[in-house]
Amino acid sequence: MKLMSGNANRPLAKAIANYLDAPLSNVEIETFADGELFVRIEENMRGEDVFLIQSTSKPANDHLMELLICMDALKRASARRITAVIPYFGYARQDRKTGGRTPITAKLVANLIAKAGADRVLTLDLHAGQIQGFFDIPTDNLFTTPVFEQDIRRHYDASDLMIVSPDVGGVVRARALAQRLGADIAIVDKRRPKAGESEVMNIIGDVDGRRCIIFDDIIDSGGTLCNAAAALKDHGAAEVSAYITHGVLSGKATSRITDSVLKELVVTDSIDVTDKAAVCAKVRAVSIAPLLAEAIRRIANEESVSKLFD
């Protein structure tokens, strides 16, 4: 087994390598003056089982091209199997046609990854589970539920917790965490007047006096999350926190979080935490390196990955 990383999230890749007690392979990634990328792998990869770790986080297009070019280099270096480990799969929110003459970019990216040479994909909390079907190669979608469950049990008394889905589409995700904790669930009924904006219409469930935890897969600008937190407080919630897998945190997200009623926002390190988020008192990160590392070890040893969640 060989581990290799692009530049999207080197700290996470190093943490995975440390967990597995396996070094990261040497790779040279350069950018030409016009923005073109060049990759040179500085180790023999012939016949190797290679795990390439690369999120497609901001700048999404640059990191996606890094991923594709690295896989092409591995394929031409005669690697036996290439597993694309993509902790954060960008473009996942574009998983269906939202109107006339619009793309399904998640499917396009899945095609590009397979065509570039990936034999398998390992990812984390896809925005929609059906995106697995966009790939024509084996795809493992891991869940952060066990990681968040452990962290919640360390920091919260589960007796009065309520897990909140920020929309109807996230109910299955919220219910899975609630069942592990023995907690109730509530749902935020909202509508989106346009992309990037949301309006809370109602709260389904009695949150009065409860400590609420909003559980979701992605936080981008933070507007939707802050609106949901304010609505929960207006309906009597004692306090509101949030556990979100992928902390994109673009634009003024951290300032919105700071000024919001949220007690804290917990994200994973699937995306390298931005400088603003790192100094934000309300933002805390937990590592998913052990989860990804164990999945990598199981794939390399041809063991079951699904048993991680039994």
User: What is the set of active-site residues?
Assistant: 190
* Binding positions for Mg(2+): 127, 167
Which long-range contacts (C-beta less than 8 Å, at least 24 apart) are formed by 130-135? 130/95, 131/89, 131/92, 131/95, 131/106, 134/95, 134/106, 134/107, 134/110, 135/110
Q: Using CA atoms, how far apart are residues 21 and 32, in angstroms rounded to an integer?
A: 34
Q: Residue 310 carries which side chain, given as an amino acid letter?
A: D
* Binding positions for D-ribose 5-phosphate: 192, 216, 220-224
CA angle 7/273/284 to nearest 5° reads 150
Residue 292, both tokens: 């990804």
Q: Using CA atoms, how far apart are residues 257 and 203, in angstroms rounded to an integer?
A: 21
Q: Using CA atoms, how far apart are residues 141 and 158, in angstroms rounded to an integer?
A: 27
* Binding positions: 34-36, 93-94, 127, 167, 192, 216, 220-224
Peptide linkage before 11 cis (omega within 30 of 0): no
Q: Using CA atoms, how far apart are residues 276 and 200, in angstroms rounded to an integer?
A: 27
* Binding positions for ATP: 34-36, 93-94
Residue 179, both tokens: 């069942």
- Residues 6 or more apart whose CB falls under 8 angstroms from that of 57 comprise 8, 9, 63, 88, 90, 248, 271, 272
Read off the DSSP letter of residue 24.
B
CB 198 within 8 A of CB 219: no
